Each structure stands twice: as C-alpha cells, then as structure tokens.
Amino acid sequence: MGDDRHEKIQQRAYEIWEREGGGDPEQHWHQAAAEIDREAALPLTAGDALPETSEIASSDVLAVEALAMRTGISGDEAQELIDRLGHDRAAVEQAARNLTGKRRS
C-alpha cells in the first residue's frame, strides 16, 4: 500500500507541476499528498463517477476536483467557474470563496 500511495503522490505532484508550469516541487508534493489522502478517505458514490462525455480533459478534471476540495464548493460549481472565468487561478479562487461566503451568511 505504501508504494502505491507513493506512486500516486508522485504522479499527482508531477501533474500539478505541469499544470502550474513549474514551481516548488516540495509544495507540489505536499499538495498531492493531501489530495490523495483526502480522496482515499472519501466514500465512493454514484455522484463521484466521471461524466460520460469527453468534454473535459483529464487535466481539467484535476483542476475542478482540486478547486472543489480547496474551497468547499461542488464539482459542478467548480466546473462552471472554470468554464466562465477560464484558467485565471486568482479570479476562479476568489469567485469560489465568494460562493462559500454567501452560503455562510
């Protein structure tokens, strides 16, 4: 199990590094480890299945998933924000936080 986890983290960290165009490998490793551990702790449900259409590239699925996990919004909300705002990370993150802030009010 430990080797499998290590390989998953390594792959995810590389995907994060690619998506962000470089950066701090240690930070990517910690982010990947947190994502993999959260995913392992989540129960699988029918709602976790990937969409049947091929509209979303695999790297976008990871971006949507990461945004939803970081901000507490649904995957659909995360996808809608990315579709609407593009890949401007700051704008997408701010819009997601605004959504969660409205829910708390």
Looking at residue 79, what is its pLDDT?
Answer: 84
Give domain limits for the chain: 1-42, 50-105
Summarised one tens digit per residue, pLDDT across range 20-57 is 888 888 999 988 888 888 887 766 555 555 454 434 45
pLDDT at residue 98 in the model: 85
Whole-angstrom CA distances from 11 to 24, 32, 48, 64, 87 are 15, 8, 21, 17, 21
Q: Is pLDDT at 61 greater than 90 in this prediction?
A: no
Query: In the predicted model, what is the mean pLDDT of the chain?
Result: 77
7, pLDDT greater than 90 = yes
DSSP of 1-31: -HHHHHHHHHHHHHHHHHHHTS--HHHHHHH
Q: Is the pLDDT of residue 76 over 90?
A: no
> Within its chain, how far is the Cα of 34 from the centroid?
11
